[in-house]
Amino acid sequence: MASDVDAVWEIIHKCSEWLAKELKLDHWLKYYTREMVEKKFENQHVYVAKKGKTIVGTVTLDENPVEYYTEDDMKNFKKRNAKAVYITALAVDPDHQGGGVASQLLKASEQAAMGMEAKYIRFDCRADY
């Protein structure tokens, strides 16, 4: 598991650096430490996409809202008390972007959410940074 944690953190970190450099969005750099990624492995459902034996993408599913959601954030959800799965930390290694890896991870997330009997899938992305 430790090597998976390292591989996932490295992918998220590469994407975080790109977001900070190209779009001036540094929230991932601050939030997604290696320790945070390790906690995701311990407490949530972390999925990876592989090319051969190499991890090239990741997504995390959680049955609980992200801890930084406020009550106002939750008001934006339709039927906010219905069973939902929250998709976070979708990232694809920059060397493998554009090849459908993220699409495959999202399709797998949808299947996993159905297996968890979720009524909603909520994708964590923010516009107010």
The enclosing domain of 12 has a CATH number of 3.40.630.30
Please, are residues 120 and 83 in contact by the beta-carbon 8 Å criterion?
yes
Q: How many domains does one find in the chain?
A: 1
Task: Please give the mean pLDDT across all residues of the chain.
Answer: 89
pLDDT band, very low/low/confident/very high, at 9 (cuts 50, 70, 90) = very high
- The pTM (predicted TM-score) of the whole model is 0.86
User: Looking at the predicted structure, is the pLDDT value of residue 129 above 60?
Assistant: no
Question: Residue 79 domain-assigned?
Answer: yes
Question: Residue 128 domain-assigned?
Answer: no
pLDDT above 70: percentage of residues in the chain: 95
**What is the per-residue pLDDT for 104?**
97
pLDDT above 90: percentage of residues in the chain: 61
Question: Residue 49 domain-assigned?
Answer: yes
- Mean pLDDT throughout 82-98? 93
Question: Residue 37 domain-assigned?
Answer: yes
Question: Residue 102 domain-assigned?
Answer: yes
Q: Which of 12-21, 23-32, 48-57 has the lowest mean pLDDT?
A: 23-32
Question: Residue 129 domain-assigned?
Answer: no
Note down the domain range covering 88.
2-123
